[in-house]
A and B are shown apart, each in its own frame.
Chain A
Amino acid sequence: DAGVIQSPRHEVTEMGQEVTLRCKPISGHDYLFWYRQTMMRGLELLIYFNNNVPIDDSGMPEDRFSAKMPNASFSTLKIQPSEPRDSAVYFCASSSQLTYEQYFGPGTRLTVT
Chain B
Amino acid sequence: AQSVTQLGSHVSVSEGALVLLRCNYSSSVPPYLFWYVQYPNQGLQLLLKYTSAATLVKGINGFEAEFKKSETSFHLTKPSAHMSDAAEYFCAVSGYNFNKFYFGSGTKLNVKP
Contacts and interface: CB of A to CB of B under 8 A. Distances in A.
Contacts of B105: 42
B43 A48 contact: no
Interface stretch (A12-20, A63-71, A72-80, A103-111): A103-111
Nearest to A9: B41
Size category of the B interface is 10 to 19
Interface string A22-52: 0000000001000000000011010010100
Interface stretch (B16-24, B44-52, B65-73, B74-82): B44-52
B106 A42 contact: yes
Given A101-B49, A105-B43, A107-B43, A31 B103 contact: no
Interface of B: 32, 34, 36, 42-46, 49, 51, 90, 94, 98-101, 103, 105-106
Interface of A: 4, 31, 42-43, 45, 48, 50, 56, 91, 93, 95, 97, 100-107
